[in-house]
Amino acid sequence: MSNATSAGDYRATKSYLHHEPHSIRAWLLTTDHKRIAWLFIASITFFFVIGGLAATLIRLELITPVGDLLTAEGYNRTFSLHGIVMVWFFLVPAIPATLGNFLLPIMIGARDLAFPRLNLLSWYVYILGALFTVFAVVAGGVDTGWTFYTPLSSMFANGNVVAAIIGVFVVGFSSILTGINFIATVHTMRAPGLTWFRLPLFVWAIYATALIMVLATPVLAITLLMVALERLFQIGIFNPALGGDPLLFQHLFWFYSHPAVYIMILPGMGVVSEIITCFARKRIFGYRFMAYSLLAIAFIGFLVWGHHMFVSGQTTYASLAFGLLSFLVAIPSAVKVFNWTATLYKGRIHFDGAMLYALGFVALFTIGGLTGLFLASVALDVQVHDTYFVVAHFHYIMVGGMVMAYLGGLHFWWPKISGRLFSEFWAKVSAITIFVGFNLTFFPQFIMGYLGMPRRYHTYTPEFTSYHVISSLGALLLAAGYLLPLLNLGWSMFWGKRSGSNPWHATGLEWQAHSPPPPLNFESVPEVTEPPYNYDARDPFDGSRPQ
């Protein structure tokens, strides 16, 4: 590994997918960021399916007002499984560890991340921790929800709480390692001429995400460790019987977990910025504002965690401060939505599959973001706290926003990742199905939450039946929508048409590399001479799209 590679070695004829060796062992011991991205794609898809199955159970149970499918305990365990798996093992690593891992080095013209072996370690840490937790949760059952609130988790809950916590603790280190790797890479490995303000917004987004991962995750780690020690050895830290403060747990937990929401959404914003500017054939509107607002969201995201604790017994003064600070996040978020819209204005818009996903993201993120403002105002939050209003709000951000962006990005860069083209028709069908199915599932939840339907109950009064039935039917459509990309992209992997290196005629270094790229990405170190998204300066695109 110590040999400096001579120029001749870059000219690898085979892509990273076909490059020798490609035994299973070689894939499991690879340090190539592109192969590691694949390891993550496969793993998060697996966990998405598990979390999705739990969600299906939840929605099935809620079709009727009585608890006929699951017991109360079983329901608690199911939504805990759903939350734990989806948040920790799908949403947090989703875009950074897959698309980020694959694209970051290519987008900055590097051969790999700064620490390739650390990158592989990060996958092993992730997969071992996650499998361990899922085993613990399925085998023993955990009914604390994904938040592990004390003193429930530390003193009262039954089941494998400690095992689940240890697993999440371990997976946290995967985040930290990925974050360190990304930050060091962006700072030290940009190609000649690639100044900070020539970076694609996706790189900015991943960079901002990495900052949060690095600065927030350690606090989660120590917090969970303290809960585990309290439960295992009675080393009381949060225990009210000793004069400990359970709210301390919430402060520490949300110091990570609110910024973690931005770990989930910032990469999505990066993806969408790339897609919209490409398919509007127009330079992104207000590039610098877009970059600054990503950093601003990452920073302000650390100042708002108390809005999760308005009804927990936090003092009113703290609630006021946190409420006010929470409103501030709306400013950079709105800047982004306005700038995406302004990018579309007078653009030559092409409604490709990836673009439909991106537009869906903007719509759903806007709804999710605006309802977030409701929840940031103390008076209104007291009314809707722990109701389905909250459930709908964060699903609009995390599922409507983040998953839409992930799938959009996966479609957009699929030709780069696989070297193949998928069916545009089915991509569009899936984007529309998911958009409709998602709204059917979660919009009714805003209404019933506002009317007072509390979250985490497996029975309810009959007046909510119609909302729950619509929601469950929508979930069915949503599930079908999620299946389509899996089939479409999976099919294209083997039978799709070869894509060529730049099927969307997009700017950006990643489109200069071969599709799929060779192991070291570029034949020679690329040099950057123009600003990002220089679509205006190029030949007007004639509109005919490769199908």
Partner 1 sequence: MRKLLLTYAALLALLSLTVAASFIPLDTWSLPVSLGIATAKTALIMAFFMQLSRASTLTRVAAAAGFLWLAILLSLSFSDYAFREPENASYHSNP
Partner 2 sequence: MKEAQNAVRMQFEALDQQKQADTLGMWIFLATEVLFFGGMFMAYAAYRWFNPDVFVLASKELNLLAGSINTAVLLSSSLTMALADHFIHAGNKTNAQRLLTLTISLGLVFLLIKGYEYHEEYSHGLIPFINDQFQWEHGQADRAELFFNLYFLMTGMHALHLFLGCCLLTVMLFINRGRRTLFRPQMRIKLSALYWHFVDVVWVFLFPLFYLAR
Q: Which residues bind partner 1 (CB under 8 A)?
A: 187, 215, 219, 240-248, 251-252, 255, 302-303, 305-306, 309, 313-318, 321-322
Closest CA to 81 of 141, 27, 41, 126: 141
**24 contacts which partner out of partner 2, partner 1, none, CB within 5 to 8 A by kind?**
none
Which CB atom, from 116 or from 268, has the smaller least distance to partner 2? 116
Least distance (Å) between residue 436 CB and partner 2: 42
Least distance (Å) between residue 111 CB and partner 2: 5
Which CB atom, from 169 or from 435, has the smaller least distance to partner 2? 169
Least distance (Å) between residue 159 CB and partner 1: 24
Which CB atom, from 257 or from 293, has the smaller least distance to partner 2? 257
Tokens matching residue 111: 């051969």
Which CB atom, from 1 or from 241, has the smaller least distance to partner 1? 241
* Contact yes or no for 165/224 (Cβ under 8 A): yes
Least distance (Å) between residue 212 CB and partner 2: 12
Tokens matching residue 394: 């964060």
Looking at this protein, which amino acid is placed at residue 438? F
Least distance (Å) between residue 414 CB and partner 2: 25
Least distance (Å) between residue 314 CB and partner 1: 5
CA distance 278 to 205: 17
**152 contacts which partner out of partner 2, partner 1, none, CB within 5 to 8 A by kind?**
none
Least distance (Å) between residue 155 CB and partner 2: 14
**302 contacts which partner out of partner 1, partner 2, none, CB within 5 to 8 A by kind?**
partner 1
- CA atoms within 13 Å, Cβ hemisphere of 319: 17
CA distances from 511 to 188, 330, 348, 500 (A): 22, 33, 20, 10
Hunting for tokens 């929800």 — which residue is that? 145
Which CB atom, from 243 or from 462, has the smaller least distance to partner 1? 243
Which CB atom, from 196 or from 351, has the smaller least distance to partner 2? 196
CA distances from 209 to 242, 278, 387 (A): 38, 23, 29
**65 contacts which partner out of partner 2, partner 1, none, CB within 5 to 8 A by kind?**
none
**1 contacts which partner out of partner 2, partner 1, none, CB within 5 to 8 A by kind?**
partner 2
Least distance (Å) between residue 152 CB and partner 1: 14
Closest CA to 498 of 414, 378, 411, 393: 414
Least distance (Å) between residue 185 CB and partner 2: 7
* Contact yes or no for 220/306 (Cβ under 8 A): no
Tokens matching residue 50: 């598990």
* Contact yes or no for 446/392 (Cβ under 8 A): yes
CA distances from 383 to 147, 456, 532 (A): 21, 16, 46
* Contact yes or no for 284/273 (Cβ under 8 A): yes
What lies within 8 Å, CB to CB, of 277 at 6+ separation is 283, 284, 343, 533, 535
Which CB atom, from 313 or from 500, has the smaller least distance to partner 1? 313
* Contact yes or no for 455/377 (Cβ under 8 A): no
Which CB atom, from 278 or from 304, has the smaller least distance to partner 2? 304
What lies within 8 Å, CB to CB, of 470 at 6+ separation is 440, 444
* Contact yes or no for 123/36 (Cβ under 8 A): yes
Least distance (Å) between residue 326 CB and partner 1: 12
**229 contacts which partner out of partner 1, partner 2, none, CB within 5 to 8 A by kind?**
partner 2
**322 contacts which partner out of partner 1, partner 2, none, CB within 5 to 8 A by kind?**
partner 1
Which CB atom, from 245 or from 424, has the smaller least distance to partner 2? 245
Which CB atom, from 114 or from 403, has the smaller least distance to partner 2? 114
Coil, strand or helix at 237: coil
Q: How many CB atoms lie within 10 A of CB 5?
A: 9
Hunting for tokens 């009675």 — which residue is that? 234
Which CB atom, from 305 or from 511, has the smaller least distance to partner 1? 305
Which residues bind to partner 2, rule: CB under 8 A?
A: 1-5, 105, 110-116, 176, 179-181, 183-185, 187-189, 214-219, 221-223, 226, 229, 233-237, 241-245, 248, 251-252, 520, 525
Which CB atom, from 85 or from 252, has the smaller least distance to partner 2? 252
The helices-and-strands tally (H runs, E runs) of the chain is 18, 2
CA distance 354 to 279: 9
**209 contacts which partner out of partner 2, partner 1, none, CB within 5 to 8 A by kind?**
none
Which CB atom, from 233 or from 317, has the smaller least distance to partner 1? 317
Least distance (Å) between residue 213 CB and partner 2: 9
Least distance (Å) between residue 180 CB and partner 1: 10
**495 contacts which partner out of partner 1, partner 2, none, CB within 5 to 8 A by kind?**
none
* Contact yes or no for 90/48 (Cβ under 8 A): yes
**14 contacts which partner out of partner 1, partner 2, none, CB within 5 to 8 A by kind?**
none
**317 contacts which partner out of partner 2, partner 1, none, CB within 5 to 8 A by kind?**
partner 1
Least distance (Å) between residue 419 CB and partner 2: 23
Looking at this protein, which amino acid is placed at residue 316? T
* Contact yes or no for 408/272 (Cβ under 8 A): yes
**236 contacts which partner out of partner 2, partner 1, none, CB within 5 to 8 A by kind?**
partner 2
Angle value at C-alpha 63, between 61 and 66, nearest 5 degrees: 65
**179 contacts which partner out of partner 1, partner 2, none, CB within 5 to 8 A by kind?**
partner 2
Tokens matching residue 39: 């390891």
Tokens matching residue 167: 């697993």
